[in-house]
């Protein structure tokens, strides 16, 4: 695949942007090679600077569930920008948007719009700490909740260990109030609460993990998180920035029937524009200024253009969309399994709705250590081979892939044929 123009853009970009990218994963460092620079997108297709057409399974990391440049979304944005881009004042549209989010997430009694998933989880954690008047934050190894300091924490070797910074620039003191456990390890969670329940402010979890590949919660795991938080006076937070509106219309809360105190939403909720939401139980959210002592603010929060894109996107998410996504996801799952089986490679496919990962290990992949142990060379062969054949897959074995409703059965079949050829080596 010719990417001469993208290569030239990358060289130019590296002179003014770290690594030439505005977010690290886009640099393709994990898989090798260089990224195509994308010029435009339509439906399930990306088109790069060298006019290569790519079947897209990144979906701009989740938002493009209805497909890129969907007419209804573009029209809503075009109509809105004619009346101005931002007012820094309350608008009727934000109220309608919040009421629409509640239709998908009825447990979100009060919510705030912010500008990124990072801001949503960061704010939810501050609210949880303000409400509980405690400091300890519990997260799970391999779950990513954005780049706020207290979340960039390396898992320790023990069961529940104090975090060490997992990034430069994070003070040891900041990491010290973050405890990390192993995903799906109910015993460790129960033991932590038995030992230190009265100190825990909050537990945050990706209810369907997508940042160590797609890993579903095992029965009882989510129930324990919510139940133990309730029992010990801590606040439970579901980070549904990635799985929200994707694993079901009402996300993981609907799919698993487990309701946390707070939820963070992003990606799909803004339809590709800088928009995220955090919210939940009224009693907890009432600590947020100006009602209470927990401060959170933002110049562009609830931005009219982003709200228009989010409303138009959510408005398209009907039952038919999820039926189609499930059928496409199942077809892709079967095709990838066949490709890896025919290539004689140890593998498993884990999928929840339209989030999917082909792992190169026997499986099941239950946590970060399992994911890290999967065969990286096989994944990188898979990724490179797909790209060479016009399929754009997330450039890291730790990233979940996403389907959009704009894909067709023919797209899926082409993808599986490309995977079969790529994996033959």
- Which residue's CB is nearer to ligand KE4, number 345 or number 396? 396
> Least distance in Å: CB of 365 to ligand KE4?
16
Q: Which of 144, 183, 278, 392 is catalytic?
A: 144
Residues that bind ligand KE4 (CB under 6 A): 23, 25, 61, 116-118, 121, 144-146, 206, 210-211, 239, 241-242, 266, 399
Per-position b or e across 25-56, b if 16+ CB within 10 A of its CB: bbbbebbeeebbbbeebebbbbbbbbebebbb
Counting beta carbons within 10 angstroms of the beta carbon of residue 129, is it exposed (0 to 12), middle (13 to 18) or buried (19 or more)? buried
> Least distance in Å: CB of 409 to ligand KE4?
27
**What contacts 48, CB < 8 A, 6 or more positions away?**
3, 5, 6, 36, 37, 38, 39, 54
User: For residue 280, what are the β-bridge partners?
Assistant: 110, 262
- In the numeric block, the tokens 């209810």 are attached to 207
> Least distance in Å: CB of 231 to ligand KE4?
26
Q: Which residue lies nearest ligand KE4, judged by its C-beta?
A: 117
Q: How many CB atoms lie within 10 A of CB 166?
A: 14
Q: What's the Rg (C-alpha) of the chain?
A: 21
Q: Where are the beta strands (DSSP E) in 230-381?
A: 235-240, 262-265, 276-280, 348-352, 355-359
Q: Which of 48, 239, 370, 411 is catalytic?
A: 239
**Which of the 8 DSSP states describes residue 367?**
S
Q: Please say if 239 is a catalytic residue.
A: yes
**What contacts 379, CB < 8 A, 6 or more positions away?**
31, 358, 360, 397
Q: Give dist(CA 415, CA 407) in Å, integer.
A: 11
Geometric angle at alpha carbon 252, from 349 and 193, rounded to 5°? 100
> Least distance in Å: CB of 386 to ligand KE4?
18
Q: Which of 139, 249, 267, 311 is catalytic?
A: 267
- In the numeric block, the tokens 């496919």 are attached to 349
> Least distance in Å: CB of 83 to ligand KE4?
26
- Which residue's CB is nearer to ligand KE4, number 43 or number 272? 272
Q: Please say if 267 is a catalytic residue.
A: yes
Contact (CB, 8 A) for 107 and 283: no
Give the total residue count for the chain. Answer: 425
> Least distance in Å: CB of 67 to ligand KE4?
19
Q: Coil, strand or helix: which one is 50? A: coil
Contact (CB, 8 A) for 145 and 151: yes
Q: Please say if 342 is a catalytic residue.
A: no
> Least distance in Å: CB of 321 to ligand KE4?
21
Point out the residues that are catalytic. Answer: 144, 239, 267
């Amino acid at each position: 695949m010719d990417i001469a123009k993208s290569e030239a853009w990358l060289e130019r970009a590296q002179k003014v942007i770290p690594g030439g990218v505005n977010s690290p994963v886009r640099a393709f460092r994990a898989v090798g090679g260089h990224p195509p620079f994308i010029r435009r997108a339509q439906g399930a297709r990306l088109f790069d600077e060298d006019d290569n057409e790519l079947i897209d399974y990144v979906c701009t990391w989740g938002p493009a569930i209805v497909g890129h440049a969907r007419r209804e979304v573009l029209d809503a944005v075009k109509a809105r920008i004619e009346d101005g881009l931002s007012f820094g004042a309350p608008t009727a549209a934000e109220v309608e948007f919040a009421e629409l989010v509640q239709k998908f997430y009825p447990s979100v009694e009060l919510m705030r719009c912010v500008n990124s998933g990072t801001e949503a989880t960061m704010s939810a954690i501050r609210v949880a700490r303000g409400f509980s008047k405690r400091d300890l934050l519990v997260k799970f190894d391999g779950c990513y909740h954005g780049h706020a300091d207290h979340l960039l924490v390396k898992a320790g070797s023990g069961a529940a260990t104090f975090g060490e910074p997992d990034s430069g620039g994070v003070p040891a003191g900041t990491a010290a109030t973050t405890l990390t456990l192993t995903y799906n390890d109910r015993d460790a969670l129960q033991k932590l609460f038995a030992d230190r329940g009265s100190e825990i402010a909050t537990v945050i979890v990706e209810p369907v993990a997508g940042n160590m590949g797609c890993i579903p919660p095992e029965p009882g795991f989510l129930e324990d998180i919510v139940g133990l938080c309730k029992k010990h006076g801590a606040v439970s937070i579901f980070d549904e920035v990635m799985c929200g509106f994707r694993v079901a219309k009402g996300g993981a809360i609907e799919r698993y029937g487990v309701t946390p105190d707070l939820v963070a939403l992003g990606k799909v909720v803004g339809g590709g524009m800088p928009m995220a939401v955090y919210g939940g139980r009224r009693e907890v959210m009432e600590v947020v200024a100006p009602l209470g002592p927990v401060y959170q603010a933002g110049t562009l929060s609830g931005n009219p253009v982003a709200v228009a894109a989010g409303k138009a996107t959510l408005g398209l998410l009907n039952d038919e969309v999820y039926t189609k996504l499930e059928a496409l996801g199942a077809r892709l799952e079967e095709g990838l399994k066949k490709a890896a089986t025919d290539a004689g490679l140890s593998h498993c496919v884990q999928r929840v709705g339209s989030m999917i990962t082909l792992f190169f290990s026997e499986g099941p992949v239950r946590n970060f250590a399992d994911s890290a142990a999967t065969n990286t060379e096989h994944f990188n062969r898979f990724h490179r081979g797909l790209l060479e054949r016009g399929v754009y897959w997330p450039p890291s074995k730790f990233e979940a892939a996403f389907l959009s409703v704009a894909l067709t059965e023919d797209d899926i079949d082409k993808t599986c044929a490309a995977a079969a050829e790529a994996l033959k080596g």
